C-alpha cells in the first residue's frame, strides 16, 4: 500500500519486516553502489554541511566532560583535513531502513539529511551495511575524492563511529 500525502508519500508495505542488506543480490548491490556514485556526480551548490557546527552542537547537547571533549577534539581534528573540493551531493543517512527493494533495484529513500558533504560518509555507511568486497571498494574509489591522509577507509570509519558515539551521548543526555 502506498498513500500519497500533501507532504510526501507513506509506504505501509511490510512495516514490520526488517531488511537484511546481506540478502541483496549482486545485481542489487551493484545498482545501489552505482546509484550512490551517480548521486556524488550531480552538480549541487546547495546547502553545505557544516560538520564543525554539527560536532559542537552534539558536544553541547551531550554535556561537556573529559570523554565528550576528547571525542569532540578528535572529530574536529579530522574535519580540519577536509577541503571544500572534496564535498559533493551526498545522502548522508544510508542504512537498511532507508532502502526499498524491487526485483533488481534498490531505491534510496529518506532524503532529509541530504546535503553537500563528504562522500566518504556515504562510502563508510555502505561499507558498514554491506561489508563491501575489495572490488566494490575499488569501484567506489573511482568516484571518491582523494583523502588528505593515509588509511582513508579506516580513518573515516573511526570518524563515523566517533560521531555516532557523540550523537548517542547527546540523545541520552536529552532523554534524561
Give the residue-averaged pLDDT of 115-127.
98
Question: Which residue's entry shows cell 551531550?
Answer: 62
Task: For the chain, give the mean pLDDT.
Answer: 88
What's the topology of domain 24-175? Answer: Aminoglycoside 3'-phosphotransferase; Chain: A, domain 2 (3.90.1200)
Residue 23: per-residue pLDDT: 84
Residue 18 above 50 pLDDT? no
Give the residue-averaged pLDDT of 33-39.
96
Give the residue-averaged pLDDT of 48-75.
96
Residue 17 region by backbone torsions, left for phi larger than 0, else alpha for psi between -120 and 50, else beta:
beta
Q: 69-107 pLDDT, tens per residue?
A: 999 999 999 999 999 999 999 999 999 999 888 777 788
Give the residue-averaged pLDDT of 117-130.
98
Residue 139 region by backbone torsions, left for phi larger than 0, else alpha for psi between -120 and 50, else beta:
alpha
Amino acid at each position: 500500500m502506498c498513500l500519497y500525502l500533501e507532504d510526501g508519500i507513506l509506504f505501509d508495505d511490510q512495516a514490520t519486516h526488517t531488511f537484511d542488506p546481506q540478502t541483496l543480490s549482486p545485481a542489487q548491490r551493484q545498482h545501489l553502489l552505482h546509484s550512490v556514485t551517480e548521486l556524488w556526480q550531480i552538480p549541487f551548490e546547495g546547502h553545505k554541511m557544516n560538520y564543525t557546527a554539527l560536532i559542537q552542537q552534539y558536544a553541547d547537547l551531550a554535556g561537556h566532560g573529559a570523554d565528550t571533549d576528547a571525542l569532540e577534539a578528535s572529530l574536529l581534528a579530522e574535519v580540519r583535513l577536509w577541503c571544500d573540493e572534496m564535498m559533493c551531493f551526498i545522502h548522508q543517512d544510508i542504512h537498511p531502513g532507508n532502502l526499498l527493494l524491487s526485483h533488481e533495484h534498490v531505491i534510496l529513500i529518506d532524503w532529509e539529511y541530504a546535503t553537500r558533504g563528504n562522500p566518504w560518509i556515504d562510502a563508510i555507511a555502505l561499507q558498514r551495511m554491506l561489508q563491501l568486497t575489495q572490488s566494490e571498494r575499488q569501484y567506489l574509489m573511482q568516484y571518491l575524492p582523494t583523502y588528505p591522509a593515509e588509511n582513508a577507509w579506516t580513518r573515516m570509519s573511526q570518524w563515523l563511529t566517533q560521531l555516532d558515539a557523540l550523537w548517542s551521548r547527546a540523545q541520552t543526555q536529552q532523554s534524561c
